[in-house]
Amino acid sequence: MANCLIYLATPSVASVPAEGTLPLTTIVRRRGQYVQQSSDSILLEAPGYYHVSVSTTFTAPATGVVTHTIRQDGIAVQGATASTTISTATTEVRSLSFEAIVRVPCCAAPVTLTVTNDGVDITSSNIAVAVEYLG
C-alpha cells in the first residue's frame, strides 16, 4: 500500500481554454504528507518517483485536436501526453486516459505538477488525477 497518495477530481462541468490548466477542485482521497493540492496543481514534496494517472471526459465547442499534457514545474514531462481529434463540435464526447512516472531529484523538492489542455478549448464533464509516491 502507498504511504503517500492523492486523488483529485472535478466531477462537474468546467470550461478549459486552449493552453489552459485543467481544474482540480475536489480531494477525493489523500494519505501522507508528500503529495498536496495547491489550487489547480499538485505539489510533490519529497525526492523520489511518483506514479501519475490522468483521466478526462469532455466535448469541444469547435473541431480540432485536444491534447492533454502533464507538466512538472511548467515543463512537459516526456511521454506524458494524450491526444484525440474532435470531428463534430459540441456533441462529440471524448475521453483521454494516460499515465506517467515522474521523478523529483534530490534537492529539487517541492515541484509542481499540472495537467494542461494544449489543443482546442474543451468543456469537461469529468477530470480525475491520481498521484502515488513510489519512493
DSSP annotation of 88 reads S
* pTM score of the predicted model: 0.94
Q: Which fold has domain 5-133?
A: Jelly Rolls (2.60.120)
Per-residue pLDDT band at 3 (split at 50, 70, 90): confident
User: For the segment 4-17, what is each residue's pLDDT rounded down to a tens digit?
Assistant: 999 999 989 999 99
**Torsions phi, psi of 65, nearest 5?**
-95, 130
Do residues 41 and 24 make contact, with C-beta atoms less than 8 angstroms apart?
yes
Per-residue pLDDT band at 112 (split at 50, 70, 90): very high
User: For the segment 58-102, what is each residue's pLDDT rounded down to a tens digit?
Assistant: 999 999 999 999 999 999 999 999 999 999 999 999 999 999 999
